[in-house]
């Protein structure tokens, strides 16, 4: 489960440029801002696809809408309408999609028929499998979007952790330690993991402690990429924890 720690300097005025802050810092169609927005969209497109599916749209229509929306959003003129007052990227993204579906869908369909380029690579087969696995009755589309957003963010952090272990040729260790980071502690013990890894129970506890510390660092960095100011990071982390505990 995600956890939040507040370290000295977190709320420093020298907020380093992150993806969303780069987008908000310009009202021009700079290549840097567009690249930052495209990176964010590539990372977090699935919550939008799931939102559209939850609204009752078919997989084909949800795919078309998602791609058309990003074609619209990443157009060279779109950055000029980004308003810093919109705050967090997840809120901006959903509000923009709703507006697009209401006012721009027919126009974008004509553009797509006219040969508009697909802006992002989306794995719709995997998306549909994930949507089917998570689908449950009685959840409002917006609530489902928020929860899927939190899950996607945590999945990205875990993927980055795994890449770091792979780079050190320790992917097997990560696979074992990950259970202690994210799984039910009642189903596995430090001693069991230690036996499989050839480590003492104490060494496993130290390794998990370090893994959790690195996880928190990466989680804060990922969240920072989606908010406008450092003051929003801790609030967003708390909200993510709340979403995943429902």
Phi then psi for residue 227, to 5 deg, are: -125, 165
Confidence at 171, pLDDT banded by 50, 70, 90? very high
Phi then psi for residue 135, to 5 deg, are: -60, 135
75-100 per-residue burial string, b: 16 or more CB within 10 A, e: under 16? beebbeebeeeebbbbebbbebbeeb
Residues 118-147: tens digit of each pLDDT:
566 667 667 776 676 666 556 788 988 999
135-172 per-residue burial string, b: 16 or more CB within 10 A, e: under 16? eeeeeeeeebbbbbbbbbbbebbbeebeeebeeeeeee
Confidence at 159, pLDDT banded by 50, 70, 90? very high
> Which pLDDT score, from 0 to 100, does residue 25 have?
76
CA 59 – CA 133 distance, rounded (Å): 14
**Percent over 70 (pLDDT), the chain:** 73
> Which pLDDT score, from 0 to 100, does residue 56 have?
87
| Helix spans in 74-200 (H) | 89-103, 105-113, 124-134, 141-167, 171-182, 190-197
Residues 33-87: tens digit of each pLDDT:
888 888 988 888 999 999 999 888 898 888 888 888 888 888 756 666 666 555 7
Burial of 241 (0-12, 13-18, 19+ CB in 10 A): middle
Compute the residue count for the chain. Answer: 246
Q: Using an 8 Å Cβ cutoff, are 29 and 77 in contact? A: yes
CA 225 – CA 16 distance, rounded (Å): 10
Instruction: Measure Cα distances from 6 to 9, 12, 164, 217, 231 in Å.
Output: 9, 12, 23, 10, 11
Residue 211 has pLDDT above 90, yes or no: yes
């Amino acid at each position: 489960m995600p956890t939040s720690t507040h370290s000295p300097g977190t709320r420093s005025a020298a907020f380093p440029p992150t993806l969303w802050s780069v987008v908000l810092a310009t009202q021009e169609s700079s290549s840097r801002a567009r690249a930052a927005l495209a990176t964010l969209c590539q990372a977090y497109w699935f919550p939008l696809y799931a939102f559209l599916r939850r609204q009752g749209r078919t997989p084909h229509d949800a795919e078309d809408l998602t791609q058309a929306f990003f074609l619209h959003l990443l157009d060279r003129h779109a950055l000029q309408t980004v308003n810093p007052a919109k705050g967090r990227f997840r809120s901006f993204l959903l509000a923009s999609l709703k507006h697009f579906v209401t006012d721009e869908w027919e126009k974008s369909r004509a553009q797509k028929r006219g040969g508009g380029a697909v802006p992002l690579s989306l794995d719709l087969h995997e998306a549909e499998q994930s949507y089917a696995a998570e689908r449950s009755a009685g959840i409002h589309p917006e609530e489902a979007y928020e929860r899927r957003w939190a899950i996607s963010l945590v999945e990205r952090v875990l993927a980055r952790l795994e890449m770091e272990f792979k780079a050190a040729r320790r992917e097997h260790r990560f696979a074992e330690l990950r259970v202690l980071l994210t799984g039910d502690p009642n189903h596995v013990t430090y001693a069991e993991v230690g036996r499989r890894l050839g480590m003492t129970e104490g060494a496993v506890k130290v390794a998990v402690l370090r893994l959790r510390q690195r996880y928190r660092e990466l989680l804060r960095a990922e969240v920072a990429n989606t908010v406008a100011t450092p003051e929003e990071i801790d609030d967003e982390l708390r909200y993510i924890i709340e979403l995943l505990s429902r």
